Chain A
Amino acid sequence: MNLAIVLVTAAVLALGMILRLAVTQSLQAKRSASLAGAIRPIDIEAFRNLTDPAEESYLRHRLPPAQFRAVRRERLRAMAAYVYIVGSNAAVLVRVGETARATGDARLAEAAQQLVNDALLLRRNAHVALARIYLALAWPNSDFAAVRVVERYEHLSGAAMLLGRLQNPAVPVRLSA
């Protein structure tokens, strides 16, 4: 009896989620006008500073262990906030790329495809990096590197710039502050 109730509840919840995701995705395909405003520029220099292993090592040697852990947690929280924005920007750029692909302009298609692929990789990396950051928050003494996310973001920004140039040579593009 209890098992059946659990399964029925799970099925109803799953149905609700599937319908919600389906509606969201079909609406998403139709909305493209407000995409540009959704990109939040990030300070890549500050982000690189946060992920710099030399900086990390310096703090580890200079601070007492308890203070180092507290500082590291603060830095990890800041890092998580940056990575979250990077992931959100990547999601917006996937949609920007998809919309550009849908215009049917052959000149844009290649740059748009490149942007979509890079943005997807970045979103995946951001997701993995966030998981590692939260893990590191639980164990502040563990080693952690988010360098790949930084590298990917730089690469992605190049692809976005190329697409922006192709779409409108007069309007430049900014992904970082």
Chain B
Amino acid sequence: MLQAHSPLWHYLWVAPNLLLLILALVIWREKLHKRYSVFLFFAVVTAIEQLTVYVADVLPSVSPVAWYHIFGGGLLVEALLKFALIGQIFGILLGTYPSLAKFGKLLTTGVGVALVLLASVVAAYTPKNNIYWIVSGVHVFEQTIYLIECGLILFLFGFAGYFKLRWSRPAFGITLGLGISACVHLATWAMMANPDFSALYHVSLVFLNMATYQVCVLIWFYYLLVPQKSVTTSAVFLPENNLDIWNRELERLLQQ
């Protein structure tokens, strides 16, 4: 069952990408693409890229080295789109909070630079797991991308949590899916980039990656297409108090 080119392997590679294309279509029809344009672009391009890599994998005429070139190229495009998507989500999150926009942007840039430096150091210390540079290079590249992505999403959730910011449902779902995917992929690619683990668990790790991706696509479906339950919010009352004393105190302070 857990073998390359088994029915489950074909299903896990193809199905999430077809689902992603369907999701993109529904997003377009529901006019969600106006607000989540990068996600729509990401869904279409990633699905096509993954299906291209799949076709290249099953076609006997494509050599392993050529396949790795296709895979590496697709990976680069996917990475750029993911970072653009994270940027758009951050923009959406901070859009309703102008008082935090500048500070948030500054902090994100700092965290991003720190993560790039960290990922570069980690990549430099990662041992080669294959005699072909393209194979080990792609593995290290995956590890580097997911390390940065994982850090950025963790920061995004931490920032929103610290300031108690309110997420829009689709933005929350997209970020959650990306976060789960990034963490699991970071762990698996860190193992695959290491020769000791790669030899033992390569196929199992590939299956874990594909299954996680399937779950993430379903999370995106749920958060983007299932409407939020309407919660009746009653008025919030602040604690009972002595407003007259506070008023006098405020006036005194303002006059200083």
A residues in contact (CB < 8 Å) with B: 1, 3-4, 7-8, 10-12, 14-15, 17-19, 21-22, 24-26, 28-30, 32-33, 35-37, 39, 41, 44-45, 48, 91, 94-96, 98-100, 102-103, 105, 116-118, 120-121, 123-124, 127, 154, 157-158, 160-161, 163-164, 167-168, 171-176
Contacts and interface: CB of A to CB of B under 8 A. Distances in A.
Interface string B153-178: 11001101111111100001000100
Contacts of B197: 1, 4
Given A91-B164, A161-B246, A171 B190 contact: no
23 contacts: A4-B197, A7-B187, A12-B183, A14-B151, A15-B184, A17-B157, A17-B158, A21-B157, A21-B158, A22-B157, A36-B239, A41-B239, A45-B249, A94-B164, A116-B97, A158-B250, A171-B240, A172-B243, A172-B246, A173-B238, A174-B238, A174-B240, A174-B242
B100 interface: yes
Given A4-B194, A36-B237, A18 B246 contact: no
B254 A103 contact: no
A30 B228 CA distance: 12
Nearest to B98: A117
Nearest to A28: B164
Contacts of B194: 1, 3-4
For the complex of A and B, the 5 pairs showing the least CB-CB separation, nearest first, are A174-B241, A172-B243, A7-B190, A15-B183, A11-B187
A105 B172 CA distance: 25
Nearest to A40: B239
B149 to A, nearest CB: 10
A15 B161 CA distance: 15
A26 B166 CA distance: 9
A14 B187 CA distance: 10
A122 to B, nearest CB: 9
Contacts of A121: 99-100
Interface of B: 97-100, 103, 122, 125-127, 143, 146-147, 150-151, 153-154, 157-158, 160-167, 172, 176, 179-180, 183-184, 186-187, 190-191, 193-194, 196-197, 231, 233-244, 246-247, 249-250, 253-254
Contacts of B165: 94
A32 B103 CA distance: 27
A95 B160 CA distance: 12
A166 to B, nearest CB: 10
Contacts of A10: 150, 186
A4 B191 contact: yes
A164 B238 contact: yes
Given A99-B233, A154-B254, A176 B249 contact: yes
A163 B160 CA distance: 23
B250 A168 contact: no
Nearest to A26: B172
